[in-house]
């Protein structure tokens, strides 16, 4: 069973932002002879954090009993355990929990733990902050903040197990300095185990570099570390050998919490097919003058190859989450449009949009909801521009860019206001049952004569920075003496 226990650098390790505030409030209650006051701390924490708190009291036989069981914990677990004992949990989880609670009471210090839950309805991983206290009559109590780290819905499980791609989720294990020592597998579907050469083994809770042979490649491992630390997606191809057979994989990396989701697509057949296709095309080219049927076959094969190449080019130019232009492709196309505008003597404008407080969306509703907001916002932008002329790209995270060729500053500001008005009037769906209202900050610039794209972009980005610095949910124009507010 996956477990972590930490008494140092807790804030840096925790996922829930509430952990930092809980530790600050715990520290403010100066401990008496027996430790921090149970009554005072509970009175301080209950109004705001009570739904995520458990209160446990030790029993005479070495067990613990739940005196309070928060509503949010009840919702995730599927029922209240108030009045029950910890020993009634799954044996592995019960032993781990009792050991941690005993240690917290012995040392009188806050403790942060992570463990896998085995029999809850939805939750896969939990993080807990354990705060030891002493009541006025000398009884010991533990005030425990408990929050789920990762969910495993039935639909997600079905998708994982029926996916033709291998899917692996990793969690980083860090040393006391915050450096990643190794990664642990917290989810792996059967397809991933088969690709790794372990079709009959359970990869959960194992060291990722030991269980996944392609991670032994130093280059791939570095790219995984960069994806975790820099919080950015990555996609590339690589080959490795399993049981004497060379396998080509396309690896898509996506950060998730303090870890990573890796999607593995076996492209071995595609690589072989491309080599075969090249060989056949060469043979058919030699016979094209003698046989009409051969010419038709060659044309068909070449057409299929061109379609694949077009699809590969499309994938190389677009952001995988939103299907918008990626940064590199956006800049290339914008530079071509700038040359055309210069030739015709037309203006060009640029809008950079950043969703406000996007981190709180991920922290509050999860990364799946965050991805849904990103996709919905991309669709909103596409619906507000001229699809045959304007360029819309995602520059990473929650930042987007809209390039407006043959558009002056007044028209660009009108489009910027339309974007902001659209956000004001609608909520962005995150699922079939939930939607969120978000705001955005916008920086607008109109290109000056002989200005490079980099300089042009920097002015728009500076305007965006002013918009965020001056309160968010507003528009700022680069070079304008008076900024326009939404």
Residue pLDDT tens, the chain, 486 long: 678 899 999 998 888 899 999 999 999 986 666 689 999 999 999 999 999 999 999 999 999 999 999 999 988 877 889 999 999 988 888 999 999 999 999 998 999 998 876 554 444 678 999 999 999 898 999 999 999 875 544 556 666 777 888 899 898 998 888 899 889 988 888 888 888 888 777 788 889 998 888 888 889 999 999 999 998 999 998 887 777 778 888 999 999 878 899 999 988 888 778 777 877 877 777 777 777 766 776 777 777 777 777 767 767 789 999 999 999 999 999 999 999 999 898 999 999 999 999 999 999 999 999 999 999 999 999 999 988 899 999 998 899 999 999 999 999 999 999 999 999 999 999 888 889 999 999 999 999 988 999 999 999 999 999 999 999 999 999 974 434 433
pLDDT at 413: 96
pLDDT at 153: 47
Task: Say how far apart CA 83 and CA 80 lie, in whole Å.
Answer: 9
Task: Say how far apart CA 68 and CA 57 lie, in whole Å.
Answer: 10
Burial of 7: CB neighbours in 10 Å, binned 0-12, 13-18, 19+: middle
Query: Whole-prediction pTM value?
Result: 0.40
pLDDT at 34: 65
Q: How does 39-76 read in b/e, with b if 16+ C-beta sit within 10 Å?
A: eebbebbeeebeebbbbbbbeeeebbbbebbbeebeeb
Task: Say how far apart CA 327 and CA 348 lie, in whole Å.
Answer: 18
Task: Say how far apart CA 436 and CA 371 lie, in whole Å.
Answer: 12
Task: Say how far apart CA 381 and CA 328 lie, in whole Å.
Answer: 19
Which residue matches tokens 């870890």?
Answer: 259
Task: Say how far apart CA 248 and CA 369 lie, in whole Å.
Answer: 32
pLDDT at 338: 93
β-pairing verdict for 440-446 and 234-242 = unpaired
pLDDT at 157: 64
Burial of 248: CB neighbours in 10 Å, binned 0-12, 13-18, 19+: middle
pLDDT at 31: 67
């Amino acid at each position: 069973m996956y477990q972590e226990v930490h008494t140092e650098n807790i804030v840096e390790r925790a996922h829930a932002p509430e952990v930092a505030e809980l530790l600050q409030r715990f520290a403010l209650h100066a401990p008496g002879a027996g430790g921090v006051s149970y009554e005072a701390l509970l009175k301080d924490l209950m109004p705001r954090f009570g739904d995520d708190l458990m209160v446990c009291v030790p029993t005479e036989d070495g067990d613990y009993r739940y005196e309070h069981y928060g509503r949010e914990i009840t919702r995730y677990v599927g029922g209240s355990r108030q009045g029950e004992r910890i020993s009634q949990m799954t044996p592995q989880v019960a032993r781990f929990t009792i050991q941690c609670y005993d240690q917290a009471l012995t040392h009188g210090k806050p403790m942060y733990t992570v463990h896998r839950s085995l029999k809850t309805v939805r939750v896969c991983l939990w993080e807990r902050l354990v705060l030891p206290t002493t009541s006025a009559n000398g009884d010991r109590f533990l005030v425990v903040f408990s929050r789920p780290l990762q969910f495993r819905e039935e639909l997600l499980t079905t998708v994982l197990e029926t996916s033709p791609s291998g899917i692996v989720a990793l969690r980083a294990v860090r040393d006391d300095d915050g450096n990643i020592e190794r990664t642990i597998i917290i989810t792996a579907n059967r397809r991933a185990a088969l690709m790794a050469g372990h079709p009959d083994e359970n990869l959960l809770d194992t060291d990722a570099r030991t269980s996944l042979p392609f991670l032994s490649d130093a280059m791939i491992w570095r790219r995984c570390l960069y994806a975790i630390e820099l919080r950015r997606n990555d996609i590339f191809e690589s080959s490795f050998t399993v049981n004497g057979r060379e396998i080509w994989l396309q690896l898509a990396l996506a950060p998730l919490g303090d870890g990573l989701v890796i999607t593995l697509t076996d492209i071995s057949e595609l690589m072989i097919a491309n080599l075969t296709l090249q060989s056949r095309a060469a043979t058919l080219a030699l016979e094209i003058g003698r046989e009409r049927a051969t010419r038709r076959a060659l044309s068909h094969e070449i057409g299929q190859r061109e379609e694949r190449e077009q699809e590969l080019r499309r994938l190389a130019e677009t952001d995988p989450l939103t299907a918008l232009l990626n940064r590199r492709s956006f800049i290339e196309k914008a530079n071509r449009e700038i040359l055309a505008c210069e030739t015709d003597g037309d203006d060009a404008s640029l809008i950079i949009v950043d969703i406000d407080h996007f981190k709180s969306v991920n922290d509050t509703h999860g990364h799946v909801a965050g991805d849904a907001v990103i996709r919905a916002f991309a669709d909103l932008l596409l619906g507000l521009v001229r699809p045959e002329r304007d360029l819309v790209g995602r520059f990473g995270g929650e930042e987007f860019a809209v390039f407006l060729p043959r558009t002056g500053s007044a028209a660009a500001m009108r489009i910027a206001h339309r974007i902001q008005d659209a956000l004001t009037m609608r909520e962005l769906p995150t699922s079939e049952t939930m939607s969120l209202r978000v705001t955005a900050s916008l920086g607008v610039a109109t290109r000056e004569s002989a200005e490079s794209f980099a300089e042009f972009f920097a002015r728009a980005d500076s305007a965006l920075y002013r918009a965020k610095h001056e309160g968010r949910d507003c528009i700022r124009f680069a070079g304008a003496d008076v900024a326009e507010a939404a």
